[in-house]
Amino acid sequence: MLRFILMRLGKAVIILIAILILNFFLIHAAPGDPAAVMAGEAGAADEKFIADLRERFGLDKPLLTQLGIYLGGVLQFDLGYSYRQQMPVADLILDRLPATLLLTMTAFAISLSLGTLAGVLASARVGKWSDTLISTTALLFYATPLFWAALMAVLLFSVVLNWLPGFGYETVGANYTGFRRVLDIGQHLILPATTLGLFFMAVYMRMTRASMLEVSQLDFVKTARAKGLRPSVIQRRHIFRNAMLPVVTLAGLQAGQLVGGAVLTETVFAWPGIGRLMFEALAQRDYNVLLGVFFVSAAMVLLFNLITDILYRFVDPRIRVG
Amino acid sequence: MLKRLSTLAAALLISTALHAEPVSGGRANVVIQPEPPSLMVGLIQNGPTQMVAGNIYEGLLRYDKDLEPEPQLAKSWEISEDGLTYTFHLHENVKWHDGEPFTSADVVFSADEFLRETHPRLRTSLEHVESITAPDDHTVVFKLKQPFGPFIGIFEVGTMPMIPKHIYEGTEYENNPANNTPIGTGPFKFEEWERGSHILLTKNEEYYEEGLPYLDEIYWHVIPDAASRAVAYEAGVVDILPGGSVENFDVQRIADMENTCITDEGWEYFGPHSWMWLNNREGPTADKRFRQAVMYAMDRNFAKDALWNGLGKVATGPVSSSTRFYSDDVKQYEYDPEQAKALLEEMGYDGETVRLLPLPYGETWQRWAEAVKQNLEEVGINAEIVATDVAGWNQKLAEWDYDMAFTYLYQYGDPALGVARNYISTNIAKGSQWNNVEGYENPKVDELFEKAAVAVTQEERQELYNEIQQILVEDVPVAWLLELGFPTIYRCNVKDLVTTAIGVNDGFKNAYVEE
């Protein structure tokens, strides 16, 4: 087992570096650079000013040299400096990471729990009206564009009904502390987390339902029934556990997006997370910040792939190290 | 009758409100968009930075809505008769937010050392300066090499903010840790910045102007989505939407809300002037008749009414009507498609497609480009819209890779500061989108601009600028669109929010909230 993990970790590091290099060239292939963007915002600049900025940012060096300097830094766990925001990239990311993780993990928990639950329920009542209702709702969630659902949620629950705050991480200026603050953040979390979770909730539901139905037709389930086991035991121990395999794979995929996958939600709900940091860095060609976010999110994807693989071995005893 | 009475009552209420005494206390909740990269206005001159930092930092002067100078850090000033010596007398009891005294040494350091290095726009103006000296702690003297008409106009906080010498002297400015905890002399102090969420400024209790400021604190809310910003106002989370905070199509709906006021004042110094760059070097846009045809083809009143809520004005030429030395004694280009067609026929336009770059600043600009494209097609000009993001747009302009491109620029109150730069031939150079990007060359115009900048009397300057405006409007180096009106929207019980020519950028020194 340890050897398996170490091997996978080794591979992960190589992939990570490859991703960084690819990203580096991709970003530099986009037109414009941070010096030009910053000069642009100043509303006036001459060539000397822009040249000075480029020199300060190290953008005047050959591309490969820049890549070398960057990778050298990363290997020493230094993600560089954002000249635009005048802060180390690692600080910027760490600043934003908790908000994003809170949002995405809540969305993850909501979608996984409600999705599988709805899927199990639907599969137990195939063809009945409750199954139709659940399946139709899931289809709706699946097909609704995220930004639209988000805006509608704000309009309904925040503007019209005034039940929940429509944006932000907490009530700015209220200076809540302790439990009151937790409650406040929780209230702010409901809309974005639910909206963000809708799509995956639908996916889990559909997958669980299909998978449950498929497994329940397999021979070993028939055998279990023939043995006279109670239906609830069969449902739980035989069908559910096996039906969860594709769901775990999917959960691994979703978990990988925990860091980078909430750009839209964070924008609409003014959630101070890493998705927005990335989006803004992209618009401003803030290379180091962008690479830093890519690095962290790629690392998360790899990490969760690894965890999924390990989990698989627990869920499905047929899988062994190949 | 009843209706008339209630209108009268409302009018009375308003007039009593106008005469109410300012009240101390309270909080302003303001939208800031996009989030500023830094608040150190000496290093970063983008719009949002100026807007927040205008409360923290100060300049020597402010300008009223007619661009007349008012005291700020300088309580008085004199200009010698030959126009060469500017003497400023500073307030004596001014302290930096960290308690250190503000003196003339700070002014000399800011202008002569710090900003000369970091502020490209100011640097250009400072080329006219021979020396900056401090005869005593509270007097500063600027000596010019030759008279420079607009010189008295460069002392507002965005152009020449005062930077604390004791913090920055001898340091590497960009990496100074103090950049993240800005120290100024302004009415509000920096308190906290939760990146991605909000910036908090609190009242400067030691402020040197008696009784000011009124507000206890200002929260700047960072809300990245335009629709969410509108909702934030509707839901009562924010009370002030500075110009450009919401999309234009939302302005009317929000302005119709109860207790909501709207003003397009507070932009007089900037005079945001929009136009399309027309590439004078190659393609159909190199022909003057084609450029004139573009002017006749555009229905600019439609753009004003449909896209800009009727705010702003149709531009008559290169100079904004809020800028000094504006003249409307120029050729007029009314919407006249037939005239446009005739000009195109005369030049023998063969239908060559022109590339049109919208300004990547949101929905309004996209729609505007589509409206112009339609106008152009109606007179037979084939236009193709090229989509870019901000960085890509910057680069295309800097490399002259376009035929027509939307833009808007500030004029800073004087043609020598904000107009000449776009038309003089010495300013043709790749790499910048604020110089003579269109590539217009006219020795006569060069000469007139040069004379007008250094002419001593106002009359002389006016005459020269009149001539310049006539020549340029005839030649159409660029296609002028609108003097933009950026509405500031706020709850009516916020008073004295916009009091100067740079509006909210001048800080909330005089603003107060009525119960």
pLDDT tens digits for range B30-87: 999 888 988 999 988 888 999 999 999 999 999 999 999 999 999 999 999 999 999 9
Find the radius of gyration of the CA atoms of chain B. Answer: 24
Q: Taking 60 as the threshold, does the pLDDT of residue B11 lie above it? A: no
Interface test with B, best of A81, A164, A167, A276 (most B CBs within 10 A): A167
What does the pLDDT look like over B217-274, one tens digit per residue? 999 999 988 888 998 998 889 999 999 899 988 999 999 999 999 999 999 999 999 9
Query: Which of chain B's residues have a Cβ under 8 Å away from the Cβ of A44?
Result: 45, 120-121, 124, 421, 434
Q: Nearest-CA distance from A68 to chain B in Å?
A: 23
Mean pLDDT of B291-316: 95
Q: Do A32 and B392 touch (CB under 8 A)?
A: yes
Closest CA to B424 of B437, B412, B411, B413: B437
φ, ψ for residue B442 (rounded to 5)? -150, 105
Distance from CA of B297 to the nearest CA of A (A): 29
**B198 and A CB contact within 8 Å:** yes
pLDDT, one tens digit per residue, over B133-178 is: 999 999 999 999 999 989 999 999 999 999 999 999 999 898 888 8
CA–CA min distance A266, chain B (Å): 9
Tens digit of each residue's pLDDT (9 = 90 or more) over A141-198: 989 888 888 888 888 888 888 898 888 898 888 888 899 999 999 999 999 999 999 9
Q: Is the pLDDT higher at A147 or at B293?
A: B293
Residue B106 and residue B183 in contact, taking contact as beta carbons nearer than 8 Å: no
Q: Do B120 and A46 touch (CB under 8 A)?
A: yes
Tell whether B26 lies on the interface with A, counting CB pairs under 8 A. no
The answer on pLDDT for A292 being more than 50 is yes
For residue B382, the model assigns a pLDDT of 95
Q: Is B462 on the interface with A (CB under 8 A)?
A: no
Summary mean pLDDT of chain B: 92
pLDDT of residue B251: 92
Residues of chain A in contact with residue B410, where contact means CB-CB under 8 angstroms, are 43
Question: For chain B, what percent of residues have pLDDT higher than 70?
Answer: 96
Name which of B31, B246, B394 to mutate to probe chain A: the one with the most chain A Cβ atoms within 10 A of its Cβ.
B394
Q: What whole-number distance in Å separates Cα of residue B355 and Cα of residue B376? A: 12
User: In degrees, to the nearest 5, what angle opens at C-alpha B375 toward C-alphas B372 and B380?
Assistant: 125
Q: Report the pLDDT averaged over residues B190-203.
A: 94
Chain B closest-CA separation from residue A51 CA (Å): 10
Pair of tokens at residue B194: 């939760």
Residue B5 has pLDDT above 50, yes or no: no
**What is the overall mean pLDDT for chain A?**
86
The span from the CA of A196 to the CA of A69, in Å, is 37
Question: Which of the two residues, B439 and A124, has the higher pLDDT score?
Answer: B439
Residue B3: the pLDDT is 41
pLDDT of B56 reads: 97
Q: Return the higher-pLDDT residue of B206 and A42.
A: B206
Using an 8 Å Cβ cutoff, are B33 and B224 in contact? yes
Average pLDDT rounded to a whole number, residues A299-307: 84
> What mean pLDDT do residues A67-76 have?
88
* B38 to A45: CB separation less than 8 angstroms, yes or no: no
Specify the pLDDT at position B329.
Answer: 95
pLDDT grade for A320, boundaries at 50, 70 and 90? low
The string of pLDDT tens digits covering residues B62-72 is: 999 999 999 99
**pLDDT tens for residues B84-140?**
999 999 999 999 999 999 999 999 999 999 999 888 889 889 999 999 999 999 999
What does the DSSP assignment read for B174-203?
GG-GGGGS---SSSEEEEEEETTTEEEEEE
Do A272 and B46 lie within an 8 Å CB cutoff? Answer: no
CB contact under 8 A, A270 and B224: yes
Res B18 pLDDT > 70: no
Residue type, position B355, single letter: R
Instruction: Say what the pLDDT of residue B20 is.
Output: 67
Kindly report the number of other CB atoms within 10 A of residue A263's CB atom: 17
Considering chain B, what percentage of its residues have pLDDT values greater than 90?
A: 78
Nearest alpha-carbon partner for B416 in B424, B405, B408:
B424
CB contact under 8 A, A39 and B228: no
Say if residues A272 and B196 touch (Cβ distance below 8 Å): yes
* A82, A86, A157, best to mutate vs chain B, most B CBs in 10 Å: A86
CB atoms within 10 A of CB B107: 26
Q: What is the pLDDT of residue B362?
A: 83
State pLDDT tens for residues A249-265.
Answer: 888 888 877 776 688 88
Helix (H) or strand (E) holding B512: strand B512-513
Q: What is the pLDDT of residue A216?
A: 85
Strand-pair partners of B32:
B222
| B45 shares contact with chain A (CB less than 8 Å) | yes
CA B8 to chain A, closest CA, distance in angstroms equals: 33
**Does B14 have pLDDT greater than 50?**
no
| Helix residue ranges per DSSP H, chain A | 2-29, 34-42, 47-57, 63-75, 89-124, 129-143, 146-153, 178-216, 219-227, 231-233, 241-256, 263-268, 274-283, 287-315
Q: How far apart are CA B343 and CA B387, in angstroms?
A: 29
Q: What is the pLDDT of residues A31-54, one digit of tens each?
A: 888 887 877 776 666 777 788 888
Q: What is the pLDDT of residues A207-228, one digit of tens each?
A: 999 998 888 888 888 888 888 8
